[in-house]
Structure 1
Amino acid sequence: MPPSPRLTVLSAEAEAFLAENHICTFTTLRPDGSPHTAPVRFTWESESGLARVMTTMTRRKARNLLVAPGSRVSVCQSAGWRWITLEGAATISTDPDRVMEGIRRYTKRYRSPPPQPPHLAVVEIRVDRVLGG
């Protein structure tokens, strides 16, 4: 995804919470408009307002984005009573440089690389709305 101006500014408390290691939910829309929600790990790049989710091109979330590139998605992290939802337009890519950047950030956050099955891809979410936090 090309650089663009940061659309959201989060509080220090929200940034700290997003740096914690929690399983999150990722919601895309199926072609019939119904929501598809899956558990994921994600990374957050506060400087650019970009969230990333690693997946494979065969997963439902990837197929949903292939049908509707740029569609709106959300990723929600919760722990007890604390939660934050990041929303924005998403694209999916198998571009080696973008996938490697996703792997690099994932490895840094979770201290181990993501699984690397065939057809690995990265979902990039340009966050423009934040709820909770």
Structure 2
Amino acid sequence: MTIKVTAEEMGPFLDEVFPQVRGMFGIDRLDEDLLVMRLFANERHLRPGGTVSGPAMFGLADVAAYVATMARIGKEALAVTTNCSIDFMRKPEAGRDVLAECRVLKLGRVLSVCDVLLYSEGAPEPVARANLTYSLPPKP
């Protein structure tokens, strides 16, 4: 799948359409095969026990699927999540960013289906796995 929006273009686009998440995420890699996105985990993302919260990890998975989809279809801000299933498998390590490895499994006319693995930075085993489906805006 050809990339229509680069990592350098994606940052300003996200700032424009989702200013509420400005500075929370970074893109480490964006190409035809894989998106690697990071949650700059800090105190506001922690839950009792000192681990990154489930909602913070869900947010990373959702934004990663959105970015991977936008990279392939172009800047279509009105794409929306229609389904998400997430399995939390182990605690992310405190004090480390959380990384999302997102792959677009299928890109059709109306849906984008993505698979996301989440990791504590530097750890080999995933902390969560998510499958997301995005509904794409109709073409004029």
TM-score range, shorter-chain basis? Answer: 0.3 to 0.5
TM-score, normalised with respect to structure 1: 0.35
**Bigger radius of gyration:** 2
TM-score, normalised with respect to structure 2: 0.34
